[in-house]
Amino acid sequence: MTAWLVRRVAAAIAIVWAVVTVTFVLVHVAPGTPFLPPAETPVDPAVLERLRSQFGLDRPLSEQYVRYLREIARGNLGESFALHRPVADALAEALPNTLTLAGAALCIEFVLGLALGVYQAARARRFGDVALGNATLFLYSVPTFWLGLLLLVVFGQWLRWFPVGGVVDVVTHESLPWAGRVADRLWHLALPAGTLGLVGAAATARFERAAMLEVLGQDYVRTARAKGLPERRVVLGHALRNALLPFVTLFGLAFPFLLTGAVLVETVFAWPGMGRLAAEAIFRRDYPVVTAAAMLASGMVVLGSLLADLLYAAADPRIRTSAA
Amino acid sequence: MNVRAWLALLGAIAVALAAVGEARRLAARGSRGRRFFRHATASGGLFVLAFFTTVAVAAPLVAPYPPSSMPEIVALRDAPPSLAHPLGTDLYSRDVWSRLVYGARVSLGIGALAMLVALTVGAAAGAVAGYARRWVDPVLMRLVDVGLSIPRIFVLLMAVALWERLPVSALVLVIGLTGWFGTSRLVRAEVLSLREREFVAAARALGARPARIILRHVLPNVAAPLIVSAALGIGSVMLLEASLSFLGIGVPSPVPSWGNMIADGKDQLATAPWTSLFPGLAIAVVVMALTAVGDALRDALDPGRETA
Amino acid sequence: MRAPHAVRASPSATVRLTALSVLLFVACAHREGCTGDYCGTLVIATAGEPESLLPPVITSAVGLAVADQLFLKLADIGLSTNTVGDEDFQPQLAERWEWADSVTLVFHLDPRARWQDGRAVTALDVAFTFDAYNDPAVNSPFRSGVRAISAVTARDSLTAVFRFRKRYPEMFYDAVYHLRILPAHLLRAIPRDQWRSALFGRRPVGDGPYRFVSWKAGEQLELAADSAFFLGRPHLRRVIWRLTPDLQVAVTQLVADQADAIEVLGPPDNLKRAQGAPQLTLYPYRGATYAYLGFNLAANGDSSRPHPLFGERELRRALVMAVDRERLLQNVWGDAARVPPGPMPQLWWIWDPETRMLPSDTAQASRLLTRLGWRDSDHDGVRKRQGNRLAFRIMVPTTSAVRRQYARLLQEQYRSLGAEVELDEVEPSVFAQRAAAGRFDALLISWNADPTPTSSIAQTWTREGIGRSNYLRYVSPAFDGLVERASAGAGRRAATQRTWRQAIELLNQDAPAVFLFAPQSVAAVHRRVADVTIRPDSWLALLRTWRIPADRLIDRDRVER
């Protein structure tokens, strides 16, 4: 087990290193300058030139790369070109927001998706199943950002049930008691997490329905039914437990998809998270932020799949560590 | 919108209906076909795909106006749906329905082509990795791990940034080349299980070259899952194209794609919703159709599994 | 399809949350809060984010707007935005000033001025500030604005002396407009080459009407009134910038009554939305930006040769006349902008609608092209001459919705004239790089200008601007001469204005660009806010005097922190 773990961790580090290298090269090779004449005001090119040399961009790429790796090894992610602050600070501020969003979306995705999937499987081919099947199929098929834009206009602007963008109420949040603060956060979280979660829930529901149907057709479930157990216990007690197993892997895989969705949802809802930070950094050629974000994202994905494997191994004793 | 365009639209519907009818007739002959149409949504999905394909092919007939002409940039700006413009006009007084029709060409085309690229590369990489093993396999699979560990949208944004102006062919290539990782894992797993089977071993014993074995014996056996993942993959490529357009990168103007139509109309969502609502619905409907057909195909080709 | 099902599915999960939050608001409303004349809270919806609040390294408009509430200038420009002489300037940190001789300016600081940590503001701070702005290590973008000043010294603790290299009409403007006086005692210890990312820039201490409270990236930035401010207590107690990346989101927040004010509404759809919101009042003011389609007079990527198309003056003139500028303006801006009579925003005093420009006349443009030998001989829709196609690319940044819209309209206009245009929609970082390197045929660019035309015109349109912002490489000695004469401005204002007009007309005849729009800025402010005065060059400059009368306070004004 330990040897397996060591191997997996080493592989994980190698993957992250490879991602950093690829990102570093890509972003430096891409055309475009990180230093813009700001806000369309005429600016002395000497100012921009001095910035380039200040950040070492006038050096050969290999030299920059070696220096970057050395700084990373020291735990220094560098200073952002565009944000005028250390990259670590910017990431530390954005990451919790993305984790909140992704976490909430994941909750919606799994709770709602599981419930729908189990319900549909239990009523397979009856009206409820077909109606929900079509609804989830639709949600599964819409562009996430388009759904987000619609929800924003309908529930933010027209009905005004939810705030338009932002993480907390800028006026009242600080003066609320803690319960109020939590509610305030949830209220702001509702639309973005709902958008991301609904789309994910549709996928999960479809997956879970299939998994349940497969389990419900198996012998031990038939036996349970034959013994006269109530249908509710058959479905929830016997079948669900076994239909959950494939989920654990899905959980590990859900993360990169959530991050991709987060880029769009964060942009639509002005949510100050990692996705938006990284996307904007790519557009602005803010090299240190791009590489750091890629490192963080790939690190999390690799960690996620590692955890999923561990969970899987724990959940199913047949799968042992050799299957790495 | 003139009589010709309405007639052409009716014609497209008729063609699509006929295509579905024909498909059903053919399908009724075999057990796979019957399993395919056992899915309630399969016919509908097939119809949608047939309809949009017809419309895309016959775009000049179906579209009442040229897709990028701006007849009246002040008076017809953001005009709501009417008889002349059944889906309204956009910010530039262009007819939304005509652009939707021409956009079908671009969006479906990008979807299919990018999927083809992904499928080819994925199948090749998977087959080679699974068959060759030794050092090729771990190297390729670690590459796949790296590819899967960066969120795809970042890879796309960075890859797309390499071009100062992005030709559509590059867009297709980039989307395709970032989408093959999953396929290659799928194919590799199949190949691993197949290569020990008798018929492959026999072929090898007869001295067949690896390339021939892969092409003649292995790939046909993984065709079923590939076809299914292709159907689903086209949909995800279309969603991706739309997402990229939303982020400001995509098919360049004035060529319409459903993705850049949504993006062009997003700022008017509150004042002129039709400009981005309809292309969004079009994407949703086609992706739904693709998913439905993909599900039915999976059932038809792989009866072992019961799915949605 | 099943769309209604799908959309309706979401509220069920969220209705409970709404109920919760309604409760929350009821709870808030019941609490006792601020009452009286000094309560108001102003939430400003902002597209963008400051990069720092340390003035010499700020380049963003929103960063400067915030910093101007924290740091004072010696004197500030008046509502007329007249930049010539010193008559129209208002005392701020300096209570008065006098000219010791024609190149020596003496400021007397207001003895009541205090840094928010309690220290007095002294002339040493003024000298320190000039030194910082002028230091290459700080690398301030405003450095070129103070290059005419040779030295700033402190005669005593309240007297600062500016010495100029030469005498010119806008000396006073240069001395005060860009310099926000900095606290020497807090900044001296920070190495100059680290100012860019100095922590002070995220937690500034100033001497202005407001003091810094908090700043969360991408969310909000809050200032609070300094009740002891020596020029008078600000009426609005809290000012909160709500930071979003996107103008549309900002406008939606405003329309949905989740914000009180916005600097610029932008295109007419946003104006319409704001007009439909009963709680808002709109305040139009002269805009500071202008935009044009510029033709690269040098070959794409090779500045030593003339451009194969745009090197020819007559062709440029045809391409300018081909554009129906008014109709394009109607499509994009409605009534919210005007076609500028040359390279100028509405803000500049040299704006003169009488200025002669080439007419917008498609028929004439078409005839001219034919006369020049550009004919569509094979009827494929594109004109040709000696085997060359009349085809070029327009570069436009992806981030500007308005300019993208213009690019598409231009593409269609030129297509109908027989010119084949392709669009290069590129990221701003690429746009800037290619513009500076001259790697483009034509570009759609807009400039955000200072209140004075002098430096902006020189940097964008004269030989001095080659290698700077004169991306088009337009060089005309006659034009340069006129600009120099106008800037030196020895004569009366009317004479100077005539010189400017002559220069602009000369430029228009050379047709290096199609001047497309100069927007009228329209701010929107919640109607409960009274005494809203907007200075066109800096909309929040007079924020200190805006107020919310005690009888118009709403819940968000009363919240106690």
Q: Round to whole Å and give the CA distance between C407 and C422.
A: 9
Touching check for A313 and chain B: CB below 8 Å? no
DSSP summary character for residue C440:
-
| Residues of C whose CB is below 8 A from B267 | 248, 269, 401
**Which amino acid makes up residue B8?**
A
Phi/psi at C224 (5° precision): -125, 145
Residue window 199-258, chain A: list those with CB within 8 Å of chain B.
206, 209-210, 213-214, 217, 256-257
Q: DSSP secondary structure string, C231-271?
A: T---S-SEEEEEEES-HHHHHHHHHTTS-SEES---SHHHH
Question: Cis bond leading into B254, ω under 30°?
Answer: yes
Residue window 371-410, chain C: list those with CB within 8 Å of chain A.
398-399
Q: Round to whole Å and give the CA distance between C175 and C150.
A: 11
pLDDT in tens, B71-92: 888 888 899 999 889 999 999 9
Touching check for A29 and chain C: CB below 8 Å? no
Residue with more model confidence, A217 or C89: C89
pLDDT at C15: 47
Tens-level pLDDT at each residue, chain C (561 residues): 333 333 333 344 444 445 445 444 544 444 467 888 898 999 999 998 999 999 999 988 899 999 999 999 999 999 988 888 888 999 999 999 999 999 999 999 999 999 999 999 999 999 999 999 999 999 898 988 898 999 999 999 999 999 999 988 889 999 999 999 999 999 999 999 899 989 999 999 999 999 999 999 989 999 999 999 999 999 999 999 999 988 989 999 999 999 999 999 988 889 999 999 999 999 999 999 999 999 999 999 888 899 999 999 999 999 999 999 999 999 999 989 999 999 999 999 899 999 999 999 999 999 999 999 999 988 899 999 998 999 999 999 988 889 999 999 999 999 999 999 999 988 888 898 899 899 999 999 999 888 889 888 998 999 999 988 899 999 999 999 999 998 887 667 788 889 999 999 999 999 999 999 999 999 999 999 999 999 999 999 999 999 999 999 998 898 876
pLDDT at A123: 84
Look up the CATH number of domain C289-519.
3.10.105.10
Percent of chain A predicted with pLDDT > 90: 30
| CA nearest neighbour of C349 among C83, C75, C79 | C83
CATH of C73-184 among 3.10.105.10, 3.10.180.10, 3.40.50.300, 3.90.76.10: 3.90.76.10
pLDDT at C13: 42
pLDDT at A317: 57
Phi/psi at C220 (5° precision): -160, 160
Report CB contact under 8 Å: C273, B268: no
Question: Which H or E element spans position C424?
Answer: strand C420-426
Q: Round to whole Å and give the CA distance between C349 and C354.
A: 13
Best probe of the B interface among C269, C324, C398, by most B CBs < 10 A, is C269
Tell me what ipTM this predicted complex has. 0.88
Touching check for A194 and chain C: CB below 8 Å? yes
CATH value at residue B91: 1.10.3720.10
Residue B293 domain-assigned (yes or no): yes
For A45, residues 6+ apart whose C-beta sits below 8 A from its C-beta are C436, C467, C468
| CA nearest neighbour of A81 among A59, A48, A58 | A48
Report CB contact under 8 Å: A256, B284: no
pLDDT at B131: 78
Touching check for C407 and chain B: CB below 8 Å? yes
Q: Which pLDDT band holds residue A162 (cuts at 50, 70, 90)?
A: very high
Q: Contact, A295 vs A76, CB < 8 A?
A: no
Q: Round to whole Å and give the CA distance between A324 and A318.
A: 13
pLDDT at C221: 96
Residue B76 domain-assigned (yes or no): no
Residue B196 domain-assigned (yes or no): yes
Q: Which tokens in the block code for residue B65?
A: 């106006």
Measured between CA atoms, how close is C560 to chain A, in angstroms? 7
Q: Round to whole Å and give the CA distance between A118 and A209.
A: 6
Nearest 10 degrees: Cα torsion C253, C254, C259, C260? 180
Touching check for C327 and chain B: CB below 8 Å? yes
Burial (Cβ within 10 Å: 0-12, 13-18, ≥19) of residue C12: exposed
Q: Contact, A269 vs A148, CB < 8 A?
A: yes
Mean pLDDT of A292-311: 82
Q: Round to whole Å and give the CA distance between C133 and C180.
A: 9
C-alpha distance from residue A274 to each of A86, B188, C218 (Å): 15, 34, 11
| Residues of A whose CB is below 8 A from C444 | none
Taking the whole predicted model, whether its pTM rises above 0.80 is answered as: yes
Radius of gyration of chain A (CA): 24
C-alpha distance from residue C471 to each of A41, C199, C432 (Å): 13, 36, 10
Helix axes A87-122, A274-284, angle to 10 degrees: 130
Phi/psi at C398 (5° precision): -65, -25
Chains that touch B (3 or more CB pairs under 8 A): A, C
For C232, residues 6+ apart whose C-beta sits below 8 A from its C-beta are C544
Domain that holds residue B209: 3-68+84-305
Q: Round to whole Å and give the CA distance between C125 and C160.
A: 9
Give the residue extent of every domain in chain C: 30-49+217-286+521-557, 73-184, 289-519
The string over A31-55, giving b where at least 16 C-beta atoms fall within 10 Å of a residue's C-beta and e elsewhere, is: bbbbbbbbbbbbbbeebbebbeebb
**Bridge partners for C392 per DSSP:** C421
Q: Round to whole Å and give the CA distance between C126 and C329.
A: 45
| CA nearest neighbour of C286 among C347, C367, C359 | C347
Q: Which tokens in the block code for residue A154?
A: 């309908």
Nearest CA in chain A to B278: A146
CA A234, distance to chain mean position in Å, is 34
pLDDT in tens, B169-193: 999 999 999 889 888 888 888 888 7
The string over C392-423, giving b where at least 16 C-beta atoms fall within 10 Å of a residue's C-beta and e elsewhere, is: bbbbbbbebbbbbbbbbbbbbbbbebbbbbeb
Q: Is the pLDDT of residue A299 over 60?
A: yes
Residue B308, CB-side half-sphere exposure with 13 Å CA sphere: 29
pLDDT at A316: 62
Q: How many CB atoms lie within 10 A of CB C558?
A: 19
Domains contained in chain B, number: 1
| CATH architecture, domain C30-49+217-286+521-557 | 3-Layer(aba) Sandwich (3.40)
Q: Contact, C347 vs C287, CB < 8 A?
A: yes
Measured between CA atoms, how close is A297 to chain B, in angstroms? 6
pLDDT in tens, B254-272: 889 999 999 999 888 888 9
- Maximum CA extent, chain B: 76
| Residues of A whose CB is below 8 A from B158 | 23, 26-27, 30, 282, 290
pLDDT in tens, B193-204: 777 777 777 877
Residue window 191-220, chain C: list those with CB within 8 Å of chain A.
193, 196-197, 201-202, 216-220
Report CB contact under 8 Å: C561, A174: yes
Burial (Cβ within 10 Å: 0-12, 13-18, ≥19) of residue A321: middle
Residue B77 domain-assigned (yes or no): no
Q: Round to whole Å and give the CA distance between C498 and C492.
A: 10
Angle at CA C360, nearest 5°, toward C359 and C365?
95
Q: Round to whole Å and give the CA distance between C214 and C222.
A: 5
pLDDT in tens, B125-167: 988 888 776 788 888 888 888 787 777 888 888 888 888 778 8
Chains that touch C (3 or more CB pairs under 8 A): A, B
| Residues of C whose CB is below 8 A from B92 | 331, 405, 408-409, 412
Q: Contact, C518 vs C345, CB < 8 A?
A: yes
Q: Round to whole Å and give the CA distance between B149 and A253.
A: 10
* Nearest CB to B73; choose among C407, C409, C422: C409
Q: How many CB atoms lie within 10 A of CB B193?
A: 12
pLDDT averaged over chain B? 87
